[in-house]
Structure 1
């Protein structure tokens, strides 16, 4: 542990913030974490952790804690809209031969493991709280919180998502979330025996995917063009999701009529932001969606946040000034995250254009090759 970084504030208790807290605590750094939600709930259905993410979760020492609650799988299968196989892309066991290539897990299960681990390691968590303001000097950051309390930290990490308050404090209105024109729909089903891998169904007329989450559970996702970012009545969501996948046959077509409970449909408009300059000013830094929120088309949004957390913990314990260490963090993270952000958005744009020439298979292979490289 470097003597000048002994106490860090993490703002945001999502995947990125929790992984940052865990990584920093494992380096012996004291961590306070504040989360604006008073009830520490999670949004969404499930999450895909591809090979690079499995590798970093193993390095964080948390993978063992949720493998039993997850579904381990090796391959990614891409199919046409009739359910015919186009390609099967083998996974890589980047975390080591004893670990799977990929993992599907419910967001609730993942949150339980990450939050428990962070607290067990000594992270001081306060809920229903955010940063009111901060003032920094060369040696630290004085933070005032929304409950009237205050504290001084050696570093502040903004992991507070696409609508990051910390980003606004650093950059003003320069970077605001942008609606891409698409939304994603998700719904849980009992796992079908054939879904022992990530199955992606693609074509100019629509798309869907099936992701195993446990022996008994899987979820379906689909992205759709939603011009004008409409707000739908909650009771409509099941019918609307069925409509969005109406041109897909095979297993997706068989499952379509089982989408009946609108309260279980998770609908989320896609909003993106990318901070196209260093993600820090002085001793205040952004990570995860606060710096580079993207779309789910490459399945790497949370993965990039997890990688941010691990790289930050390693660089903070290196040599040089705080600025030099944060610059090294940026060198290791900026281009990689930019690639994921730009190509995820591009995939969505090709979908909205119904571009039959879009080489999704080629893009998937290129992404897997890039993310397999060490960070």
Structure 2
């Protein structure tokens, strides 16, 4: 572990930024975290599906017991016909190891709150409603000016400010998220009795209709369709639009559909893809999580990859006193093949559906990708 005093700025208080902060503080690093939102837990979305490799990092963060108590773990996925007939039940690979569930669903705001509490307990300095407005780098560090008129000097800046990262653009990385052609409707509802795993229905009026248990009493349900102009879908019609798609499905869906009544509880999001190639840093400013890569949730790996980034980067920082270009490039090299495989597989699964490919080897691609993810990042 480094014996030199170090100061790091983390920009963004989502999963990857919070994880990096917790792990750096454990390594004795001085951390400032700034989050643009005034409300740190203004978390969009109703639920989150966490695969085993995400749970492995959450255990490393010291929050696994709280996550386990707050969520719902399961070890299989069902494939159903649109009418609800179960066609196949596939055991899920335990990508985090045999001592963790294959998959755990939980309310997204609850996960964020657990991470927020861990950041607060770590002793990091947190400022909400604050953005970095400019960066001035030299060989020894970065001077950062903030929107509240203050400035700070840091040995390293970790940009964890998400898909629309302003830091990514500010350091001259031109990559931007691109839509894949799909969109997803999501809502949290009470859990129907007997619903104990994720089931996915392919076909019908949507490409995918699915759900994931998020506690003993809740699930989040989703339907995936071709993306539409957001401006043409007034927010007050969100419940009506989702209900129209969901009403075509059987099994647990009639009970779920009855609960889709409040448009304010429905979340509508396009699927995007992005992968920054070549390096994830410029000087002493480095990207993690959605600032560096994003993919459709067809493999439920977005949060897992972001958490893995934070784990790998902070481990590498803690192992040496020399924080330089070689180290940050080595972080990229260690991550890129794994991340690229997941991004490409996630996009491919969606593209097969968009193209109407009936003999696509979705189970095979999913199996190969998940097997790879069992390895430590």
Give the TM-score of the pair, scaled to structure 2: 0.93
Is the Cα–Cα contact under 8 Å of residues 179 and 229 in structure 1 kept in the other structure? no
Q: Distance in 2 between matches of 1:78 and 1:293?
A: 26
Residue 305 of structure 1: how far off its partner (Å): 0.3
Equivalent residue number for residue 370 of structure 1: 372
Q: 1:335 Cα shift?
A: 1.2
**Aligned-partner Cα distance in 2 for 1:322–1:367:** 32
Provide the residue aligned with 1:23 in structure 2. Answer: 23
Q: Secondary structure at the match of 1:171?
A: coil
Rounded to whole Å, the distance in 2 between the matches of 1:24 and 1:140 is 17
1:39 aligns with 2:39: yes
What is the aligned partner in structure 2 of residue 179 from structure 1? 179
Deviation at 1:55, TM superposition (A): 1.3
How does 1:1-375 map onto structure 2 within 5 Å?
Answer: 1-3=1-3, 6-40=6-40, 41-93=42-94, 95=96, 98-171=99-172, 174-203=174-203, 205=205, 206-319=207-320, 321-375=323-377
Q: Return closer, same or farther for 1:148/1:38 CA change in 2, 3 Å cut-off.
A: same
The 8 Å contact of residues 318 and 325 in structure 1, kept in 2 or not, is answered as: no
Counterpart secondary structure, 2:78: strand
* Matched-pair contact (CA < 8 Å) for 1:9–1:156: yes
In structure 2, relative to structure 1, the CA distance for the partners of 1:352 and 1:311 (3 Å cut) is same
Instruction: Provide the C-alpha distance between the structure 1 equivalents of 2:255 and 2:193, rounded to a whole number of angstroms.
Output: 14
| Number of aligned residues | 374
Distance 2:370 2:77 in 1: 11
Counterparts of 2:345 and 2:229 in 1: how far apart (Å)?
22
Give me the whole-angstrom Cα distance separating, in 2, the residues matched to 1:223 and 1:301: 17
| Cα 1:71/1:196, change in 2 over 3 Å | same
Please say if residues 301 and 342 of structure 2, whose CA atoms lie closer than 8 Å, have aligned partners that are also in contact.
yes
Contact 1:187/1:266 (8 A) holds in 2:
yes
- For structure 1, which segment, 339-348 or 139-148, has the greater mean C-alpha deviation from structure 2 after superposition? 339-348
CA contact (8 A) 2:52 2:97 kept: no
**Cα distance 1:115–1:324, how it changes in 2: closer, same or farther (>3 A)?**
same
Moved more, 264-273 or 118-127: 264-273
Distance (whole Å) between structure 2 residues aligned to residue 106 and residue 255 of structure 1: 17
Tell me if the contact between 2:162 and 2:289 (Cα under 8 Å) persists in the aligned partners: yes
Displacement of 1:307 in angstroms is 0.3
TM-score norm. by structure 1 comes to: 0.94
What is the CA–CA distance in structure 1 between the aligned matches of 2:255 and 2:69, rounded to whole Å? 29
Residue pair 2:95, 2:373 contacting (<8 A) in 1 also: no
Secondary structure at the aligned position of 1:215 is classed as coil
Q: Distance in 2 between matches of 1:84 and 1:5?
A: 60
Instruction: Determine if contact 1:104/1:213 at 8 Å carries over to the other structure.
Output: yes
1:321–1:309 Cα change, 3 Å: closer
SS of the residue 1:250 aligns to: coil
- SS for the counterpart of 2:350 is helix
Kept in 2, the 8 Å contact 1:78–1:361? The answer is: no
Cα distance change, pair 5–328 in 1 and its aligned pair in 2 (3 A): farther
